[in-house]
C-alpha cells in the first residue's frame, strides 16, 4: 500500500511538471487542471480535505475553509466561506484563491458552475474506498507542495488499520446496523466508505448490498436482518449521542437484547481524513470489545 502511494505521487508529480511553464494535475474525475504555477492560495470546501491538508503539513496554503471544517482546532482559525451547500461566493472572491478544492459528493453543481464563471479553478475529490483516500492524499500532497509527507502519513494510517484487522481476524463477524441519521433512517450502502470500515473492524453491515452510498432504509427491514450490534452515529464536534429510545423498544432485536446499542463519533467514519484510523479503532472496540481488553 505504501509503495502504491509512492508510485501514485511520482505519477502525479510527473504530470505536474510538464509542460515546464505550467502546473498540471488531474482531479478525481480525471479532469486535467492547468495552472500558471503551483497553487499558493487554496480554499477547501470539504472538511475531509481540510483535515488531510493539515495532516500533510500544508496548511500555510489554506486560506479559506467551511463552517464544518472544525478539526484540527487550528482549522477553525482559518477564514470561513460559509457552508458546503451554499458557500459565499463574495467571500471566496475576496480571499483570492488560486484553487478551490470541492467534492462531487457534497457540494452543489451550481457552486461549480458559479466558480467556473468567475474563472476560479476547481479541483474535485471524492473517496468511497480506502484506496481512494490514499489517492486523494497523494494529490493533495502535490497541490500543497508536501509530496514527501504523503508516504509517512499513509504508512502510519495503514499500520493502524492493519493492527485493528489483525486484532479481530479470528473473531466471528456479527451483523451490524450502522445508523447515519435517524429520521428518515439513513444507512451506509455498498458505495459508502463506512461499509468498508465496518468490514475491517470485524463486522458485517446488514445494509452493505443497498444501492448508492447512503440510502434511506426502513425500521422493518432493519429488524428483519436481526442486527447483533447497532451503532448510532453522532454528528458535529461536541454533539451528544443520537436518541436511542426507539431502538431500545425493539426488544426482539438481538442487539437490543444483548445491550449492544452504542454511540459512535460519525466524524471519524464519514470524513476521509487521517482520523479514519481512529474511526476503524472505535468501530472495532464497539463490535469486538473482547479483542481490546
pTM of the model: 0.90
Torsion angle defined by CA atoms of residues 29, 156, 77 and 105, in that order, rounded to the nearest 10 degrees: 20
pLDDT at 20 (0 to 100): 55
**Is the confidence at residue 4, as pLDDT, over 90?**
no
What digits encode the pLDDT tens for the residues 190-203?
Answer: 999 999 999 999 99
Mean pLDDT of 176-204: 96
Cα–chain center distance at 278? 12
Mean pLDDT of 223-230: 97
Q: Are 270 and 213 in contact (CB under 8 A)?
A: no
Mean pLDDT of 201-225: 96
**Is the confidence at residue 95, as pLDDT, over 50?**
yes
Domain spans of the chain, in order of start: 2-154, 170-292
pLDDT at 11 (0 to 100): 45
Q: Are 263 and 182 in contact (CB under 8 A)?
A: no
Fold of the CATH domain 2-154: Rossmann fold (3.40.50)
CA distance 124 to 278: 25
pLDDT at 22 (0 to 100): 84
CATH number, span 170-292: 3.40.50.1980
Which residues fall within 8 angstroms of residue 171, CB to CB, at 6 or more apart?
Answer: 202, 288, 290, 291
Amino acid at each position: 500500500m505504501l509503495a502504491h502511494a509512492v508510485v501514485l505521487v511520482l505519477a502525479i508529480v510527473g504530470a505536474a511538471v510538464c509542460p515546464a511553464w505550467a502546473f498540471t494535475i488531474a482531479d478525481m474525475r480525471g479532469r486535467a487542471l492547468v495552472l500558471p504555477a503551483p497553487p499558493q492560495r487554496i480554499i477547501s470546501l470539504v472538511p475531509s480535505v481540510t483535515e488531510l491538508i493539515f495532516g500533510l503539513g500544508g496548511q500555510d496554503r489554506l486560506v479559506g475553509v467551511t463552517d464544518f471544517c472544525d478539526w484540527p482546532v487550528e482549522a477553525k482559525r482559518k477564514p470561513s466561506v460559509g457552508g458546503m451547500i451554499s458557500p459565499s461566493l463574495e467571500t471566496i472572491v475576496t480571499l483570492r484563491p488560486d484553487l478551490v478544492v470541492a467534492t462531487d459528493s457534497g457540494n452543489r453543481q451550481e457552486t461549480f458552475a458559479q466558480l467556473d464563471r468567475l474563472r476560479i479553478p476547481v479541483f474535485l475529490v471524492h473517496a468511497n474506498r480506502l484506496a481512494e483516500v490514499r489517492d486523494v492524499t497523494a494529490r493533495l500532497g502535490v497541490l500543497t507542495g508536501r509530496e514527501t509527507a504523503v508516504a509517512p502519513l499513509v504508512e502510519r494510517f495503514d499500520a493502524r488499520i492493519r493492527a485493528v484487522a489483525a486484532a479481530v481476524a479470528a473473531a466471528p463477524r456479527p451483523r451490524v446496523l450502522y445508523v447515519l441519521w435517524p429520521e428518515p433512517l439513513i444507512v451506509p450502502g455498498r458505495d459508502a466508505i463506512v461499509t468498508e470500515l465496518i468490514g475491517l473492524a470485524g463486522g458485517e453491515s446488514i445494509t452493505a448490498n443497498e444501492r448508492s452510498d447512503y440510502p434511506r432504509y426502513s425500521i422493518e427491514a432493519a429488524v428483519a436482518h436481526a442486527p447483533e450490534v447497532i451503532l448510532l452515529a453522532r454528528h458535529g464536534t461536541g454533539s451528544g449521542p443520537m436518541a436511542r429510545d426507539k431502538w431500545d423498544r425493539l426488544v426482539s432485536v438481538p442487539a437490543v437484547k444483548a445491550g449492544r446499542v452504542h454511540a459512535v463519533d460519525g466524524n471519524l467514519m464519514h470524513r476521509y481524513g487521517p482520523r479514519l484510523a481512529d474511526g476503524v479503532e472505535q468501530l472495532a472496540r464497539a463490535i469486538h470489545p473482547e479483542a481490546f481488553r
